Amino acid sequence: MDLFYTDQFEPGMAGLTLSPDESHHAVKVLRKKAGDQIEITNGHGYYISGRIRELKKNALIIDVETYQKMPFPEENHIEVGIGVIRPNRMDWAVEKCTELGVERIVPLICRYSSTRQGKMKHLQKIMVSAIKQSSQYYLPKISAVITLQNWLTGIPEKRGRRFIAHPEGSSDIFDSLELGKTRFIYLAVGPEGGFSKEEILMAHEKHFNTLLLGNSILRTETAAVAGVCRVKLLLAKNPGQ
């Protein structure tokens, strides 16, 4: 399925116009033409089926035929905080976490961060491409770059299970863990230098458990993917009631 994206759709609309980038891809790459069926999402859970009515320069005019709100995948209730790293590696981490399916991505400034910037519009485009590639209907939210301390402080009390990736953590922490009604997971992954002792202590004070992701020392982007896979298994193990 070739899935397209628009941020303009609202329920009840009879038609919409795809962006220049989406229109170019449809016409020049996929050779779509007037009368062809097309499938679209707005990133807020809607699956939209329509038909191309008109091809204009840099725009496709779509007649909306049907649409439906898809349920949010329970195993995607994950907020992953990723220590900011070099742009090409951050791009890869955000892309793969989006493909796997998460609810929110938070770029974190930590003590050992080698960079303190993040290009949010650029990362947003990567996420849009990733949900299209993986046929998902929910675009993860992505926050502006914030400090680890501010992120930890902003997590609501008593909400969700919490894990921070660390070489001295436990690899079998999930064996007897039950989620109960707190079907939300926070996962923290450090930058290239890892988390400092003070940051680990700060996370423990916010009820984070240290999680070992394997015997190897992983790059940040690899740890983010490995961590998301691990916590998704926990969500799968504890299906909602």
pLDDT bucket at 241, cuts 50 / 70 / 90: very low
Rounded to whole angstroms, the Cα distance separating 80 from 97 reads 9
- Residues 57-78: what's their mean pLDDT? 93
Residue 117: predicted pLDDT: 74
For the stretch 207-223, pLDDT in tens is 999 988 888 889 999 99
Weakest-pLDDT range from 13-17, 27-31, 81-85, 168-172: 168-172
For the stretch 32-44, pLDDT in tens is 999 999 999 999 9
* Residue 154: Cβ within 10 Å count: 10
The rounded percent of the chain whose pLDDT value lies above 90 is 69
Query: Where do the domains of the chain lie?
Result: 3-69, 74-237
Same fold: 3-69 with 74-237: no
Weakest-pLDDT range from 66-80, 120-134, 154-168: 154-168
Residue 239: predicted pLDDT: 65
Structure tokens at 92: 């890869």
Q: Which CATH architecture has domain 3-69?
A: Beta Barrel (2.40)
Query: Can you list the alpha helix ranges (DSSP code H) found in the chain?
Result: 20-24, 87-100, 120-133, 148-154, 197-205, 220-237
Residue 170: predicted pLDDT: 67
Judge whether residue 49 has pLDDT over 50.
yes
Topology adopted by domain 74-237 = Alpha/beta knot (3.40.1280)
Pairing of strands 209-211, 185-189: unpaired
Residue 136: predicted pLDDT: 97
Residue 173: predicted pLDDT: 63
211 φ/ψ angles, rounded to the nearest 5 degrees: -120, 120
Rounded to whole angstroms, the Cα distance separating 146 from 108 reads 5
**pTM across the whole model:** 0.91
